[in-house]
Structure 1
Amino acid sequence: MARKTRVFISHHHANDQWAKNQLQQWADEYDLFIDVSVDTNDVKDTLPTDSIRRIIRDDYLRDSSVTIVLVGTHTKGRKHVDWEIYSSMYNGTANKQSGILVVQLPSTCPTYW
């Protein structure tokens, strides 16, 4: 049996949790991937930036092969999303880079192709 892809989903928890829930529902229903994302309050905001990046990289992203970034209207100002993208792009000795897939949510009113 083939190993399922391990996916990290980055999003603004307060505004775009609905999109993550929908994606997770599809993943479960169609047996698409394993979600290895950070849940709310898994990582303390009060830690130093480097510690947060290390925790995300070592405890959550380590076994993932792709990071899906769900982009809503307030995503650009979210420090955790920034840290998750940074950690996905980081190419360390123990943790290699992940692919990044950006999904623009309907709330951003995409009108161009």
Structure 2
Amino acid sequence: MNIEKKTRNCFISYHHNNDQKYLSELRKTVKSMKVSDYSLKTDIGHLTNETIYNKIRSKMRTCSVTVILIGTRTGHRKWIDWEIWASLRGYSHPFDKKKSFKPNGLLAIFLPGQNHSIPDRLQDNIDSGYAVSMRWKNLERDFESKVNYAYWKRNNATNLIRNNRNRQESNSINFLGIKI
């Protein structure tokens, strides 16, 4: 009996330099459901802010869940904050409903290690109950249910979205435990 797998269009946000290996592993490991990965495949940091933001938004339009891989530098990265910000913004096109979209659900995956750097905007949504989270070690067992729960929240709990922070204007550094 061949059962067709559900498809979820996910945008995956991560620190390219530090966490690429985890993205590659995620793509190999997740077999319980078909995941269409609309994330940016290469580092485009050399482009202008406006160009990068437009690329992010065009990818977001086709996604329903944003998966954020949380490592040691994730919360310090400008573009990860912008990806989360864009994920939480819906858009109603005035003339063409096909160009309208809802905010994405959020799934935070805590990578192995103990020094996680959680983006402030993501932490706001974990605290409010909108963002779903899980540990990397449970990826194979829990990924499908967590993505589906984030998808459910996208449709049923948008009142929990917290997206009122200013966008991060630059990457920050960690100096003695303080983000500067």
TM-score over 0.5 for the pair:
yes
Is 2:41 the partner of 1:35?
A: no
Residue aligning to 1:5: 8
Residue aligning to 2:52: 52
The sequence identity of aligned pairs, in percent, is 33
Kindly provide the CA deviation profile for residues 37-94 of structure 1, in whole angstroms up to 9, marking residues without a partner as x: 11113x454313x443232112x11111101100000111111111111110011112
CA distance in structure 2 between the aligned counterparts of 1:95 and 1:45, rounded to whole angstroms: 28
Larger Rg: 2
SS of aligned partner of 1:91: coil
Kindly provide the CA deviation profile for residues 17-45 of structure 1, in whole angstroms up to 9, marking residues without a partner as x: 11111111123x4453111111113x454
Is 2:68 the partner of 1:69?
A: yes
**Equivalent position to 1:24, from 24, 27, 42:** 27
Is 2:97 the partner of 1:86?
A: no
Moved over 4 A (4+): none
1:63–1:23 CA distance, 2 compared to 1 (3 A): same
Is 2:114 the partner of 1:95?
A: no
CA contact (8 A) 1:26 1:32 kept: no
CA distance in structure 1 between the aligned counterparts of 2:52 and 2:89, rounded to whole angstroms: 14
CA distance in structure 1 between the aligned counterparts of 2:75 and 2:46, rounded to whole angstroms: 17
Instruction: Work out the number of aligned pairs and report it.
Output: 106
- Structure 2 letter corresponding to 1:80: W
SS of aligned partner of 1:100: strand
Higher RCO (C-alpha under 8 Å, 6+ residues apart): 1
Q: Give the TM-score normalised by the residue count of structure 2.
A: 0.52
- Structure 2 letter corresponding to 1:47: T
Query: How much is the aligned-residue C-alpha RMSD, in angstroms?
Result: 2.1
CA contact (8 A) 1:57 1:95 kept: no
- Structure 2 letter corresponding to 1:5: R
